[in-house]
Amino acid sequence: MEAPTIIERGEYKYVEAGSGEPLVVLHGLFGALSNFADVLDHFSNRFRVIIPMLPIYELPMLSTSAKNIAKHIEGFVDELELGKVHLLGNSLGGHVGLIFTRDNLDRVASLSLTASSGLYENAFGNSFPRREDKTFIRDKVAVTFFDPKHATDELVDECFEAVNSREKILRILAIAKSAIRHNMSKDLPSMSIPVCLIWGRNDIITPPEVAEEFQAGFPDSELFWIDECGHAPMMEHPKQFNALLDAWYVSRGMGQAV
């Protein structure tokens, strides 16, 4: 599939494909639109798949937080007049989806989370990573995956560039800290919508017990595991991830029939 064209609409940038019920996909802190290329390709047969670029590096420094990124997504959904949406989020994107859902429950048809923050996560920590050390950055990227072969040169270069920009690293740390401080366990019982949880059994950033805590907290959730899989199931095992999510949507009568 060719790389989709990035659409610009006011302050918003996004890609989209397909038609039908809107499925808004939210990437992670070090994520990019390309992380969900297989999701876009697969689910555009069933949904209008929309992947906005999160304003991780665009918000004013003092406003750089998961909560304000969720506000940005509220504006995005309004701008595109999407009505009720399905949400799918990975890592920080899952956390943003949780905040959006809590604050806009009547606008969310379903919520799917994979390796989501919002309860607990192992992050870079509270200090600057060793920015000039590319081997250190490669190792950090590699632990995202069960199989380090997925830590491609392209991914490592993207992260290396980000953490070597003072403006970017300050925002990365601000968002990471805001996410860690913002525990949402008390909010889960009020999210009375269908929730799909897809988790890597070998995720060391948001480990399996996080998935189990999410499942226990939501009123209506189902949890699916992918073996030999880390923090980015949709990248490491795209076919299995898409099959699990697709089957869940079908079981809940969501999206267009294929």
HEC profile for 102-125?
Answer: HHCHHHEEEEEEECCCCCCCCCCC
Q: What pLDDT is recorded for position 123?
A: 57
Pairing of strands 221-226, 12-17: unpaired
What is the pTM for the complete model shown? 0.89
Helical (H) or strand (E) element with 99: helix 92-103
* pLDDT for residue 127 is more than 70: no
CA-CA distance, 164 to 192, in Å (whole number)? 42
The first and second tokens of residue 10, run together, are 């006011």
Q: What is the DSSP string of 180-226?
A: HH---GGGGGG--S-EEEEEETT-SSS-HHHHHHHHHHSSSEEEEEE
pLDDT tens digits, 58-71: 777 777 788 999 99
* pLDDT for residue 125 is more than 60: no
Backbone angles phi, psi at 66, to 5 degrees: -60, -40
CA-CA distance, 158 to 206, in Å (whole number)? 22
Could you give the C-alpha distances from 22 to 14, 50, 52, 88, 91, in angstroms and in order?
13, 7, 12, 11, 21
pLDDT tens digits, 214-249: 999 999 999 999 999 999 999 999 999 999 999 999
Could you give the C-alpha distances from 187 to 90, 98, 101, 119, in angstroms and in order?
19, 9, 10, 11
Q: To which residue do tokens 């050390």 refer?
A: 133
* pLDDT for residue 91 is more than 70: yes
Higher pLDDT, 56 or 75: 75
67 closest CA partner among 118, 141, 119, 136: 118
Q: To which residue do tokens 């990471």 refer?
A: 176
- Where residue 87 falls among pLDDT bands split at 50, 70, 90? very high
Higher pLDDT, 96 or 63: 96
Q: What pLDDT is recorded for position 88?
A: 98
Q: What pLDDT is recorded for position 2?
A: 61
* pLDDT for residue 89 is more than 60: yes
* pLDDT for residue 124 is more than 50: no
CA-CA distance, 25 to 39, in Å (whole number)? 9
Mean pLDDT, residues 10-35: 89
- Where residue 98 falls among pLDDT bands split at 50, 70, 90? very high
CA-CA distance, 138 to 151, in Å (whole number)? 7
Q: What pLDDT is recorded for position 109?
A: 98
Mean pLDDT, residues 127-143: 67
The first and second tokens of residue 143, run together, are 């632990």
- Where residue 144 falls among pLDDT bands split at 50, 70, 90? confident
Domains along the chain with CATH numbers: 7-251 (3.40.50.1820)
CA-CA distance, 174 to 88, in Å (whole number)? 23
Mean pLDDT, residues 162-172: 73
The first and second tokens of residue 206, run together, are 């948001």
- Residue 3 has, within 13 A of its CA and on its CB side, a CA count of 7
